[in-house]
């Protein structure tokens, strides 16, 4: 991170803090330790009543112009499920019901864990949000495989199809008694 004059600011050197067993990103100016953790991306494979699958054409880098699933960083104070539904609304104006966790992808090199849920649209009206150029509903046989934004989009679409054809068990989530 740099300030407006281009000077390096904030945590930027690696040191082993007292009592820890690995290097952590530390600010040499003020001593603040930025514990770096994998970030959680939440997303959905959402199908309309006619089984078409919702994709968004990205209006922002990376992979601008390519198709992706509604997905984005989970925010503080929300559940993973709520985050997935929020992203579907923000990127595709989609209202949906989640039907279970499809997959957990670990992308160690880019420090991400992706939680991808399955969903059904409760309203066929979808529309591009500010981060999308367009939204589309595609039958599995018509998916734009050559224009997908990320490998994980292909993984999720393939695994959702497998789950759709063969059935799919689910991981548990918070029990209903929580809260």
Site for a copy of itself in 95-124 (CB under 8 A): 101-106, 108-109, 111, 113, 115
Stretch that binds Zn ion, among 26-34, 46-54, 55-63, 128-136 (CB under 5 A): 26-34
Q: What is the DSSP letter of 2?
A: B
- Provide, rounded to whole angstroms, the least separation between the CB of residue 19 and Zn ion: 21
Nearer to a copy of itself, 61 or 167 (CB): 167
Residue 176 sits in the site that holds a copy of itself (CB under 8 A) = no
Nearer to a copy of itself, 109 or 125 (CB): 109
Q: Is 88 in a helix, a strand, or coil?
A: helix
Helix (H) or strand (E) holding 67: strand 67-68
Non-local (6+) Cβ contacts of 123 within 8 A are 94, 95
Residue 146 sits in the site that holds a copy of itself (CB under 8 A) = no
Residue 30 sits in the site that holds Zn ion (CB under 5 A) = yes
How would you class 35 by CB atoms within 10 Å of its CB: exposed for 0-12, middle for 13-18, buried for 19 or more?
exposed
Separation in Å, CA 126 to CA 53, 86, 100, 131: 12, 14, 21, 14
Nearer to Zn ion, 28 or 38 (CB): 28
Nearer to Zn ion, 34 or 124 (CB): 34
Residue 62 sits in the site that holds a copy of itself (CB under 8 A) = no
| 8 Å CB contact between 90 and 72 | yes
Distance from C-alpha of 71 to C-alpha of 117, rounded to nearest angstrom: 10
In the stretch 148-167, what mask flags binding to a copy of itself with x, by CB under 8 A? ---x---x--xx--xx---x
Residue 72 sits in the site that holds a copy of itself (CB under 8 A) = no
- Provide, rounded to whole angstroms, the least separation between the CB of residue 6 and Zn ion: 17
Distance from C-alpha of 90 to C-alpha of 59, rounded to nearest angstrom: 13
């Amino acid at each position: 991170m740099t300030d407006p004059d281009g000077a390096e600011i904030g945590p930027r050197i690696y040191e082993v803090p007292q009592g820890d067993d690995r290097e952590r990103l530390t600010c040499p100016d003020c001593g603040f330790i930025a514990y770096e953790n994998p970030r959680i991306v939440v997303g959905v494979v959402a199908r309309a009543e006619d089984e078409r699958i919702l994709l968004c054409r990205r209006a922002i880098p990376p992979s601008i112009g390519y198709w992706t699933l509604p997905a984005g960083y989970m925010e503080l104070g929300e559940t993973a499920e709520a985050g997935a539904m929020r992203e579907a609304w923000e990127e595709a104006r989609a209202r949906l019901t989640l039907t279970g966790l499809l997959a957990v992808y670990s992308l160690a090199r880019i420090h991400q864990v992706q939680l991808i849920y399955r969903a059904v649209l409760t309203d066929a009206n979808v529309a591009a949000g500010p981060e999308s150029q367009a939204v589309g509903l595609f039958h599995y046989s018509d998916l734009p495989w050559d224009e997908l934004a990320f490998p994980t989009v292909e993984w999720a679409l393939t695994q959702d199809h497998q789950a759709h054809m063969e059935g799919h068990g689910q991981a548990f989530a918070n029990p209903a008694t929580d809260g």
